[in-house]
């Protein structure tokens, strides 16, 4: 049985008091807090096993290499990839998508080819494609949302053509919380032999994601949103695709041979991990994956639905609160973007922080095209993860009610 | 001109407390900056004591002014 109170005990940050009050952390969409297991693993690696990987013959280096490789294997298991060859460690989701843009798209897309995106993408799944579109004269197209904040699936069918070479879609909107039917979108992509990229930044930490089931060609996600340190993220791609791609960056640790004018690449995934990697962070990502898998991704998903349902039902009872995105809990994740009538979203965030130590995000959430589509300058956003409890929701709702009633 | 200076100048010129949205509009008219950065500048300036903020319970907005 999933017990968020027991989980919460693993997170030292919740022992901290600010202005004498506990922290109500509701910004896990931006980044997650870290359990003691991850923090200790990071510290233990630096204290007992630290060395550079893949080159040293001494014990420490071999130990570090094995630990770093094992972390790739753990991530592969988490997403059901075919081994660590399909798991490239990068800095974050943004770098993973840029890797695809510069290694794959730049070399494979030509004038008049089309990339299909959606209006709800994070900037990290828009700006790289704009850069590629300018370099290669490629056309960008966007699928819109309906009034409930869901993608208009029929627009995919209308906008996909033989010119479509890539469909890049977020699995879960970082603003609306909408969970997109990526399996269906992937099927549509492959019907026209387009490649399919899924931005898993807001899904992989929160629910089971199986790359074979959703049949994606690329999956990008960040470690720091799933209990791991900052500076480590993942690009999954099928082995045959990665084998055909040129490296994004050249340097040490990614070659098998170097001559004066030509080089040969190392095997997968090292071909894409040039230079000294974020070794400790990668190993700690493996520990974070252990932690999540022990809890069970399906258990996490079910718990987040439960706490989100509770939060949504309570928020909607407060006068003047408008919540964006689907109201059907089955169609959304634990991300609740909202506005309070006649109150600036940044003022809402400042009020909650100052008076209640509630940490929420306010603004456009790096999704300006979506904000413009919704006719908003921004929203306040509360998001939930494994360590949040119903009492957090109660304080959030009490604080917003007091804000509305103030004066 | 730095963003900090644009904000302080805006508050001086206004001669009255400004809301978060009003400050944002003025800064955006003068500088290329991400909209979401402006509240961060306001909070930092307040922490250093260069500006002050007060929550107005009537309008339910923060009002920013010079000390």
Give this complex's ipTM.
0.95
407 residues of chain A, pLDDT tens digit each = 899 999 999 999 999 999 999 999 999 999 999 999 999 999 999 999 999 999 899 999 999 999 999 999 999 999 999 999 999 999 999 999 999 999 999 999 999 999 999 999 999 999 999 999 999 999 999 999 999 999 999 999 999 999 999 999 999 999 999 999 999 999 999 999 999 999 999 999 999 999 999 999 999 999 999 999 999 999 999 999 999 999 989 999 999 999 999 999 999 999 999 999 999 999 999 999 999 999 999 999 999 999 999 999 999 999 999 999 999 999 999 999 999 999 999 999 999 999 999 999 999 999 999 999 999 999 999 999 999 999 999 999 999 999 999 87
Q: How many CB pairs under 8 A join A and B?
A: 44
Q: Which of B39, B53, B58 sits opposite A407 (nearest CB)?
A: B58
Instruction: Indicate if the pLDDT at residue B1 is higher than 90.
Output: no
The boundaries of every CATH 3.40.640.10 domain in chain A are 40-294
Helix (H, G, I), strand (E, B) or coil at A279: helix
Give pTM, 2 decimals: 0.97
The boundaries of every CATH 3.90.1150.10 domain in chain A are 4-26+296-405
Residues of A marked as catalytic: 366
Residues of chain B contacting residue A343, judged by C-beta atoms under 8 Å apart: 60-61
Bond preceding residue A62 cis, omega within 30 of 0: no
CATH fold group of domain A4-26+296-405: 3.90.1150
Closest residue, chain A, to B56 (C-alpha) = A407
Among candidates A15, A6, A1, A25, which has minimal Cα distance to A392?
A25
Closest residue, chain B, to A362 (C-alpha) = B36
Residues of chain B contacting residue A362, judged by C-beta atoms under 8 Å apart: 36, 39
Closest residue, chain A, to B22 (C-alpha) = A344
The pLDDT tens digits of the residues spanning B18-51 come to: 999 999 999 999 999 999 999 999 999 999 999 9
Q: What's the gap in Å between the CA of B13 and the closest CA on chain A?
A: 23
CATH fold group of domain B3-65: Arc Repressor Mutant, subunit A (1.10.10)
Q: What's the gap in Å between the CA of A138 and the closest CA on chain B?
A: 27
Task: Kindly write down the DSSP assignment for every residue of A184-226, as one continuous string.
Answer: HHHHHHHHTT-EEEEE-TTTTTTS---HHHHT-SEEEEESTTT
Helix (H, G, I), strand (E, B) or coil at A148: coil
Among candidates A104, A94, A92, which has minimal Cα distance to A128?
A94
CATH fold group of domain A40-294: 3.40.640
Residues of chain B contacting residue A350, judged by C-beta atoms under 8 Å apart: 20, 39, 43, 53, 62
């Amino acid at each position: 049985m999933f017990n968020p109170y027991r989980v919460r005990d693993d997170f030292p940050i919740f022992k901290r008091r600010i202005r004498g009050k506990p922290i109500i952390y509701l910004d896990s969409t931006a980044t997650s807090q870290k359990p003691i297991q991850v923090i200790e693993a990071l510290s233990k690696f630096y204290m007992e096993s630290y060395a550079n990987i893949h080159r040293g013959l001494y014990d420490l280096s071999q130990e570090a290499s094995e630990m770093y490789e094992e972390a790739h294997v753990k991530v592969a298991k988490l997403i059901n990839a075919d081994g660590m060859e399909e798991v490239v460690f990068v800095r974050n989701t943004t770098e993973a998508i840029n890797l695809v843009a510069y290694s794959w798209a730049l070399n494979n897309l030509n004038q008049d080819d089309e990339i299909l995106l959606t209006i709800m993408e994070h900037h990290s799944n828009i700006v790289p494609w704009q850069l590629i579109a300018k370099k290669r004269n490629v056309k960008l197209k966007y699928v819109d949302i309906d009034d409930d904040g869901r993608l208009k699936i029929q627009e995919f069918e209308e906008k996909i053509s033989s010119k479509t070479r890539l469909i890049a879609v977020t699995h879960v909107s970082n603003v609306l919380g909408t969970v997109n039917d990526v399996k269906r979108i992937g099927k549509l992509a492959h019907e026209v032999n387009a490649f399919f990229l899924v931005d898993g930044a807001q899904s992989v930490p929160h629910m089971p994601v199986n790359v074979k089931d959703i049949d994606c060609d690329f999956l990008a996600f960040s470690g720091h949103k799933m209990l791991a340190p900052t500076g480590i993220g993942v690009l999954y791609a099928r082995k045959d695709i990665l084998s055909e791609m040129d490296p994004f960056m050249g340097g040490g640790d990614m070659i098998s041979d170097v001559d004066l004018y030509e080089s040969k690449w190392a095997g997968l995934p090292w071909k894409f991990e040039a230079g000294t990697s974020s070794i400790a962070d990668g190993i700690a990502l493996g520990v974070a994956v252990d932690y999540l898998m022990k809890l069970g991704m399906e258990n996490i998903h079910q718990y987040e639905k439960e706490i989100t349902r509770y939060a949504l039902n309570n928020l909607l009872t407060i006068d003047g609160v408008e919540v964006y995105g689907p109201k059907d809990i089955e169609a959304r994740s634990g991300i609740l973007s909202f506005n309070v009538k006649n109150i600036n979203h940044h003022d809402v965030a400042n009020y909650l922080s100052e008076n209640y130590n509630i940490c929420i995000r306010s603004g456009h959430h790096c999704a300006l095209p979506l904000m413009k589509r919704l006719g908003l300058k921004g929203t306040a956003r509360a998001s939930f993860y494994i360590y949040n409890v119903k009492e957090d929701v109660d304080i959030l709702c009490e604080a917003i009610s007091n804000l509305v009633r103030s004066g | 001109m730095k963003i900090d200076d644009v904000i302080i100048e805006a508050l001086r010129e206004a001669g009255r407390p400004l809301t978060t949205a009003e400050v944002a509009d003025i800064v955006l008219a003068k500088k290329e900056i991400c909209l979401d950065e402006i509240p961060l500048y306001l909070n930092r300036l307040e922490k250093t004591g260069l500006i002050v903020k007060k929550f107005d319970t009537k309008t339910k907005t923060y009002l920013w002014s010079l000390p």
